[in-house]
Amino acid sequence: MLSYFLKRLFSLVPLLLGITFISFLIIHLAPGKPSYLKEMNPRISAEAQERLIRLYQLDKPILVQYIHWLKRVIKLDFGNSFADGRKVIVRIRERLPITLLINALSLFFILLFAFPVGIISSLKPNGVFDKCTTLFVFIGFSLPSFYLALLLMLLFGIKLGCLPISGIVSFNHSQLSSGERILDIAKHLILPVSVATFGGLAGFSRYVRANMIEVLKQDYIRTAYAQGIGRGRIVCKFALKNALLPLITILGLSVPGLLGGSVILESVFAIPGMGRLLYEATLSRDYPLIMGGVVIGAVLTLLGNLIADLCYAWADPRIRYQ
């Protein structure tokens, strides 16, 4: 097992190199130029623009730029953002906690609701409960999140006035006691987390439902029924356990999603998260920052996959890696 793990871990290195190289190429070949160069301002003379291109070293061949970049990244230095000259790692670090918090919370609530919904629906596929919940989760899936967000803001923020509209802390946050501060943040998180949860319910609940239906058709379930074991025990112990296996992979794949934010939600709720950071970086062609995001995303995806595979082996005795 350990040797398998190590082998997999080492095989990630060339994969990661490939991902970064291709991303670097695509990002640099895409039309457009970084930060100031994108301003349409006659005060920015042609000479000044050329000077900026030289200072950003954009006049060098792409391969040379990539090698420069790689040399720094190996030392875990992602370089400085073009936009404000601050370290990429610092810019990412200040956005990470809030994104992680919101994503972890919404993933938690998604699982909390998706499991019961999926399991109960699977017991009577196409029954009344199944149809109602299907409708409900698909409404969540298909409603544009910004629209739902604005409606909720209007209702809870303005009509009822009980929840804050945007941001993550109140105006007077710094004057509150620590207990009140937590409450303040919690209040600000209710709307964004609800919208994210509602939008994500469909996926998981449908996975659970589909897997459960599949498993409930298996012979060993029939055998269990024939032995006279109670339905509750069959569903929760025999069926659910097996239905959970494919979900490990899906959970593994959602690891990178924890750190990537939704641009739309973050913009509507004015949350300073990763989504907005990387979106703005892309629009302003802030190459070092974009690459920082790419590397983090790639590493997490690969690690998520690896961990999912390992968990799979651990959870399912039929699977053994040699």
Per-residue burial over 87-101, b if 16 or more Cβ lie within 10 Å, else e, is bbbebbeebbebbeb
Q: Closest distance between other proteins and the C-beta of residue 222, in Å?
A: 54
Query: What's at 156, amino acid-wise?
Result: F
Nearest to 295 by CA among 69, 108, 99: 69
Q: Closest distance between other proteins and the C-beta of residue 287, in Å?
A: 12
Q: Closest distance between other proteins and the C-beta of residue 101, in Å?
A: 14
DSSP assignment of 256-284 equals HHHHPPPHHHHHHTT---HHHHHHHHHHT
Cβ closest to other proteins, residue 83 vs residue 299: 83
Q: Closest distance between other proteins and the C-beta of residue 298, in Å?
A: 23
Cβ closest to other proteins, residue 118 vs residue 261: 261
Cβ closest to other proteins, residue 157 vs residue 203: 157
Quote the CA–CA distance of 256 and 248 in Å, as a whole number: 14
Q: Closest distance between other proteins and the C-beta of residue 285, in Å?
A: 6
Q: Closest distance between other proteins and the C-beta of residue 260, in Å?
A: 16
Cβ closest to other proteins, residue 16 vs residue 83: 83
Quote the CA–CA distance of 237 and 215 in Å, as a whole number: 12
Q: Quick one: tokens of 7?
A: 């082998």
Q: How many CA atoms lie within 13 A of 56 on its CB side?
A: 23
Cβ closest to other proteins, residue 94 vs residue 180: 94
Quote the CA–CA distance of 322 and 320 in Å, as a whole number: 6
Cβ closest to other proteins, residue 154 vs residue 319: 154
Q: Which residues bind other proteins (CB under 8 A)?
A: 30-33, 35-52, 55-56, 83-86, 91, 94-95, 146, 150, 153-154, 157-158, 161, 165-169, 171, 266-273, 276-277, 283-285
Q: Closest distance between other proteins and the C-beta of residue 270, in Å?
A: 4
DSSP assignment of 160-209 equals S--S--SSSS-TTGGGS-HHHHHHHHHHHHHHHHHHHHHHHHHHHHHHHH
- ∠ CA(271), CA(283), CA(301), 5° rounding? 70
Cβ closest to other proteins, residue 56 vs residue 204: 56
